[in-house]
Amino acid sequence: MDLKQNIISVRAKINIALAAAGRRPEDLTLLTVTKYVDAPVIKELLSFGLQDIGENRLQDALEKQRALGELKNKYKWHFIGSLQTNKARQVALNFDLIHSLDRMSLAETLNNIGEQMGRPIPVLIQVNVSGERTKHGIAPGELGAFYEAVRKLPGLCAAGLMTMAPFTDDPETVRPVFRELRLLFERVRAEYNPGPEWRELSMGMSNDFVVAIEEGATIVRVGSAIFGVGTEG
């Protein structure tokens, strides 16, 4: 694996997409999904200026954090996997942003934890835009009511939306999914008038991050294109 070359290549594609969309580089976070690699590789990311780390399994992430020691604090940790309620506390304690709030019972559990911690827990609401049965997330038609309930919870800070697009070889086929998430995001802004914390759209992975950026992503979650595993474009 040529980490450096892969990162350069991903960044180049990101910059082209941003420029084409008339967007500024500081408006996008490249979230490196490190589920494929161990702590020594995560360490290397720092020298490339990559500090946002995405993990989808709590136990794996905790092991890597332990192995990193003090360095752990140099990163911003994103939890991107589906979150079981009994793991909510450990995730809240060890991650900076949870991308996968997908049900009211989890919102209530996290709210209690946030109140105990004395600071609201930053979350993104996961939306199942494509409607695939295998995917987690709030149905688009239920998002308004869900947001309205979540914003009343003082132990939570809803910072935006996340979606997983269907897997595809042709990223153009998922453009409507990203466009819809953006519309939902703006609809919440128009209807509920949230504060400036409402600002993140987490969408786009290795094979479709360019399209996601064109459609307004503020966080792209990229793993295999950086670590050279699995499918890549």
Ligand X SMILES: *Cc1c(COP(=O)(O)O)cnc(C)c1O
* Interacting residues with ligand X (CB under 6 A): 33, 35, 56, 80, 164, 205-206, 221-225, 230
Pick 153 or 226: Cβ nearer ligand X = 226
- Shortest distance, CB of residue 48 to ligand X, whole angstroms? 16
Contact residues for 95 (Cβ-Cβ < 8 A; gap 6+): 61, 77, 78, 79
Residue 21 or 229: which CB sits closer to ligand X? 229
| Closest residue by Cα to residue 116 from 97, 96, 88 | 88
CB of 210 to ligand X, least distance (A): 12
3-state secondary structure (DSSP) of residue 77: strand
The C-alpha atoms of residue 140 and residue 62 are separated, in whole angstroms, by: 33
Q: Return d(Cα 27, Cα 210) in angstroms, integer.
A: 14
Of 114 and 223, the one with the shorter C-beta distance to ligand X is 223
CB of 166 to ligand X, least distance (A): 12
List the one residue out of 167, 90, 83 whose CA is nearest residue 125: 83
In contact, 55 and 34? CB cutoff 8 Å: yes
Q: How many residues does the chain have?
A: 233
Cβ 116 to ligand X shortest distance, Å: 27
Taking the least distance from each CB to ligand X, the nearer of 53 and 153 is 53
Shortest distance in whole angstroms from residue 224 CB to ligand X: 3
Residue 44 three-state SS: helix
Residue nearer to ligand X on the CB measure, 131 or 230: 230
